[in-house]
Amino acid sequence: MMNLTVVTSLLVMVAISLQSVSGIKQPTRLQTIMMNLTVVTSLLVMVAISLQPVEAAGRRCWCDARVNDVVIKNFDVIDSCGGWCGCGDNRINRCGLTCDEKVQDWVETVCLQKYKGQQVRSHFKASNCKTGDGSRTYTCNLPKLCTEKVTENIVFTQTVTTCGTASEGMSGSSKTGDHWKKMSKKSRGSLPDADRSTLQYFHVRLKTDICLHPLIDHLFNEQVIDQDELDIITTTKERSGRASGVEKMLEILRFSGRQAFHLFLECLENKDVGYEELAKELRKHRQTLLPV
């Protein structure tokens, strides 16, 4: 209705102008003033209506978890910005990545028995800016329940761990045995200059783009990081967020031996991790730093 009012008013103004040119009788001064006032008022109302949703609601990032395009967990709004924020706002621009982290954390800690073993993917909507699915899937598993019994001796400390899923309980099909932390055989020492410079050049992008799991699990398996470092990275992420966890991982990586960078690239390229393109860019940049 507002648009129709404006269009009608504009057409009346055009008709008045044409009358003036053709010599047809002009409307009275009062009629002209009323017509102009109608147009101005209509335009002001339209501006007020268009600005009101932006002022009141701003923009939001919605997120849910899906299995075969069926929503199994709705996280609703996970981030937002108010006032005059646009699609370029970091909270809206990173909606997809934030949603991916949310779904990953949920899958790794709390998942439904109904979907055990199935592949879960994130889905996000950043207001009217963009919408889409996460780039990776996560396997829906129930959290493990573990208890530890520590037996201390003068010579050594032994840890006996009993683990089972929430559905299995702590007996029956659960696994029991002496669980020893993986002995650290990782190398020590600084990275070569080209490797260190490459990580420094990509520092911001790595902090922005990388999800820690399952990357750090592969780094642990390749003995790039040891158990203590794995715990430090995980704790940092839980306390300060994903970006801080990535920063801690990169800090540890710089002092993990001369082959750590190459092993890091191999882990990025692993199909379970899914950062093949990023690994190619890192390798390509490193090549430019090597002496000819």
pLDDT tens track for 21-73 = 445 555 677 667 766 776 667 676 565 545 444 434 589 999 999 999 999 99
Q: What pLDDT does 15 receive?
A: 53
Judge if 197 and 237 occupy the same domain.
Answer: yes
Judge if 93 and 18 occupy the same domain.
Answer: no
With respect to residue 186, please indicate whether it lies within any of the assigned structural domains. no
Given 153, 178, 203, the domain boundary residue is 178
The domain total for the chain is 4
Judge if 73 and 30 occupy the same domain.
Answer: no
Find the domain containing 162 and state its range: 144-178
Q: Is the pLDDT of residue 122 over 70?
A: yes
Q: What pLDDT does 48 receive?
A: 52
Q: In what order do the strands lie in the sheet with 119-126?
A: 70-81, 59-67, 119-126, 130-139
Detail the DSSP E strand segments found in 108-194.
119-126, 130-139, 144-152, 157-165, 175-178
What is the share, in percent, of the chain residues with pLDDT greater than 90? 36
With respect to residue 187, please indicate whether it lies within any of the assigned structural domains. no
- State the pTM of this model: 0.44
With respect to residue 264, please indicate whether it lies within any of the assigned structural domains. yes
CB 104 within 8 A of CB 211: yes
Compute the average pLDDT of residues 90-104: 87
Judge if 35 and 63 occupy the same domain.
Answer: no
Q: What rounded mean pLDDT belongs to the chain?
A: 75
Q: Would you place residue 221 in the very low, low, confident or very high pLDDT band (cuts 50, 70, 90)?
A: very high
Indicate the range of 2-16, 58-72, 163-177 predicted with least confidence. 163-177
Residue pLDDT, tens place only, 171-194: 333 333 333 344 346 667 889 999
Q: Does residue 158 sit in helix, strand or coil? A: strand
Q: What pLDDT does 195 receive?
A: 94
Judge if 134 and 211 occupy the same domain.
Answer: no
